Amino acid sequence: MLEPQGPLPPEIYWRRRALAVGVLVVVVAVVVGIILLATSGGSSPKNANASSDQTSVAPLPSASAPPSSSGGYGEGGYGGSPGGSTAASASAVPGQTGQAGSGGGGNGAAVTPAPVPASGLCPDQNISVVLYTDKPTYAVGDQPVFTLVVTNAGLAECTRDVGKDMQNVVVRTLDKSYYIWSATDCAPISEVNNQVLKPAQQFKDTITWSANTSNPGCTNPRKPVGPGSYQAVGKIGEKESAPITFNVVQAATNPGA
């Protein structure tokens, strides 16, 4: 038979308690480490995504320029017929902001960004040139008045020289077989007029013809044009308008004279 033994020495109990505490500390440390790793790994991408979503919006300029017109000139220089009437601007410049409502919240309209102003000149493909006369038919001796209309047909603001030096009107017979007159033959005018044109904005100017023939350099004697049908083309630099036609007829005689 086994004989019952008495209580164990106290150091045995202390060793068991120390071992239990050590195991508990290790378990707690492992759990805390796992929690810290999970927390730090999930927060970094969120912070990175949050910072990458931030964008800066720079204010865009929105300036409005009225349509331009210049005084007309005749073949003898300035002092011809008055300049064309102010061009009706078809420009609707985006970028108009809505009005804020009073009180707590405003009912502002949606904001459309304005086109960024261009730093260069308007290329020929971004402008249109239209020519027209003050009437379709003239009597012999009348002086036709031509109006040039230049329009920015592009999508952005740009600059174009529309001065007298760049303007021209060329008149030929209707079948184009005879050269009749050009505005730059006998009275060329050197004038620079750089205009900043917004999309669809127009510039108008007039040129008066004395109804006399001419040639480049104005070396030939000039003669009044006779009755007939004629074709005219307007130009700004090398950009031409579509041709237009007009008539010159013999002046009606007064039977009682």
What is the CATH number for 74? 2.60.40.10
Q: pLDDT (tens digit, 9 = 90+) per residue, 132-142?
A: 999 999 999 99
Provide the 10 A C-beta neighbour count for residue 245. 11
**Which residue range is the domain that position 206 belongs to?**
68-88+118-248
What pLDDT was estimated at residue 13?
A: 75
Whether the pLDDT of residue 249 is over 70: the answer is yes
Q: pLDDT (tens digit, 9 = 90+) per residue, 82-131?
A: 333 333 333 333 444 444 444 444 444 554 544 444 458 899 999 999 99
Residue 14 inside a domain? The answer is no
Q: Find out whether 186 and 75 touch, Cβ atoms under 8 Å.
A: yes
* Total of domains in the chain: 1
Residue 223 inside a domain? The answer is yes
Residue 181 inside a domain? The answer is yes
What pLDDT was estimated at residue 190?
A: 85
pTM: 0.56
Residue 37 inside a domain? The answer is no
Residue 128 inside a domain? The answer is yes
SS3 content of the chain, % helix, strand, coil (to 5): 20, 25, 55
Q: pLDDT (tens digit, 9 = 90+) per residue, 31-66?
A: 888 888 888 755 444 444 444 444 444 444 444 444
What pLDDT was estimated at residue 147?
A: 98
Residue 83 inside a domain? The answer is yes
Whether the pLDDT of residue 213 is over 70: the answer is yes
Q: How far apart are CA 232 and CA 133, in angstroms?
A: 9
Residue 215 inside a domain? The answer is yes
Residue 241 inside a domain? The answer is yes
What pLDDT was estimated at residue 79?
A: 36
Q: How many residues does the chain have?
A: 257
